[in-house]
Amino acid sequence: EDQVTQSPEALRLQEGESSSLNCSYTVSGLRGLFWYRQDPGKGPEFLFTLYSAGEEKEKERLKATLTKKESFLHITAPKPEDSATYLCAVQLNTDKLIFGTGTRLQVFP
């Protein structure tokens, strides 16, 4: 069964305290892995797409990496405005996206 698991479920960081979010997946066919940010009451906002193991992408304080079994979203020196739920999703060969349950990140000043 295709499955996407994110950890931790919730993460509290002090401003400036770097950390990493994990997305592990077990799927029959991977076409791509997506990271999204979701604020309360809003739709997901696209962050990154990763297509192959070893690929890395960066945007401001965020960096996403991909291996054959998992992806990490590294947050360097986070700020309070980085507080949100971060979702990862795996695109299957069938074109569907399977989402993880997300990591709720809170960054305190």
Partner 1 sequence: GAVVSQHPSRVICKSGTSVKIECRSLDFQATTMFWYRQFPKQSLMLMATSNEGSKATYEQGVEKDKFLINHASLTLSTLTVTSAHPEDSSFYICSARDFRGMNTEAFFGQGTRLTVV
Write out the residues near partner 1 by the rule CB under 8 A: 32, 34, 36, 41-46, 49, 87, 89, 91, 95-102, 104
- Min separation Cβ 80 and partner 1, Å: 21
Q: Which run of H or E residues covers position 106?
A: strand 103-108
Taking the least distance from each CB to partner 1, the nearer of 17 and 99 is 99
91 strand-pairing partners? 32, 97
**Which residue's structure tokens are 């809003």?**
42
- Min separation Cβ 105 and partner 1, Å: 14
- DSSP letters, 26-57, are E-S-EEEEEEEEE-TTS--EEEEEE-STT-EE
Taking the least distance from each CB to partner 1, the nearer of 16 and 29 is 29
Taking the least distance from each CB to partner 1, the nearer of 41 and 54 is 41
